[in-house]
Amino acid sequence: MVSTQPPSANLQRQSLRDEVFHYLHDRVIEGAFQPGQWLRQEDIASQLGVSMTPVREALDLVVAAGLAERVPYRGVRVVELSRDEMLDAYGLRLLLEPAATRLTAERADPLQVKELKRIHAQTTELVALADMSQLRQLSRAFHAQVVAMSNDPLLVRIYQIAANKFPDWMLYEAMHHHPEKLSASLRAEQKQHAAIVSAIAANDCETASRAARDHILSLGKDLQTYLKIPRELIEEKEQQFIPR
């Protein structure tokens, strides 16, 4: 159905939607909205001085970004993950991402590699606490791009489910409570992403797969450090999902 609104009206609405989305995303990453907290359309619209439509559309984006969930007949709330859900998502990422990265290194074309490099290059400039929300979005885009480049639609769908259950946003939010660890954490992440990009660009399947596995293993250490998940539970999940 063709929209009856003039193009300028559509663009203005989309701009408002994106602004509201970034506001909500930033607030979750900063910890202003806590897990389980309801994101009420009326309250957000009133607070920001906008209509309900861009808020409703922005909430859809927040849900798609894995930060919130829509509860039938009740509304939208910030995702509250159980420890088991986090560990299961971690295990699936350990299984899926090395496999996807191996396929990507084998199949990726130059244009896809160029886009992956572009995403990675943007992350290297984000080094402050105020950048955590944008960094989370770019890091998520980086991993999604790697998996998408495998050209395996089923693998992509399964990965998206696992990614939405992994508490990456909680790890970035934790940086606000541990700013002394920010620099080292970002340097490590950038180095690991660079290794993945380099191996994919060289069509080195084995190195690419190993780089992806090592990166996810480092996220397991972050689960222990920042979210206080016991090391023995993380190691148990690693033993289950790392191929022998």
Q: What is the pLDDT of residues 135-191, one digit of tens each?
A: 999 999 999 999 999 999 999 999 999 999 999 989 988 888 888 888 888 899 999
Could you say which of 21, 51, 78 is where a domain stops? 78
Element of type H or E holding 71: strand 68-71
Report the pLDDT value the prediction gives residue 128, as an integer from 0 to 100. Answer: 86
Residue 155 placed within a domain: yes
Residue 2 in domain: no
pTM of the full structure: 0.86
Task: Give the residue from 78, 93, 121 where a domain finishes.
Answer: 78
Judge if 30 and 114 occupy the same domain: no
Q: Are residues 41 and 148 in the same domain?
A: no
User: What is the domain count for the chain?
Assistant: 2
CATH for 74: 1.10.10.10
pLDDT for the residue 42: 95
Say if 199 falls within a structural domain: yes
pLDDT at 2: 36
CB-based contacts of 9, cutoff 8 Å, min separation 6: none
Q: Domain range holding 193?
A: 83-241
Q: Are residues 108 and 183 in the same domain?
A: yes
**The pLDDT value given to residue 15:** 87
Alpha carbon 32 to its chain's center: 18
Any domain includes 237: yes
Q: Do both 106 and 41 map to the same domain?
A: no
Residues of the chain with pLDDT under 50: 1-11
| Statement to judge: residues 136 and 209 lie in one domain | yes
Same domain, residue pair 72 and 95: no
- CATH number for position 99: 1.20.120.530
CB of 37 closer than 8 Å to CB of 51: no
Shared domain for 72 and 90, answered yes or no, is no
Residues 171 and 65 in one domain: no
Query: Of the candidates 61, 78, 95, which is a domain's last residue?
Result: 78
Kindly state whether residues 64 and 120 are assigned to the same domain.
no
Q: Are residues 98 and 74 in the same domain?
A: no
Alpha-carbon dihedral of residues 85, 200, 99, 195, nearest 10 degrees? -50
Terminal CA-CA length for the chain = 53
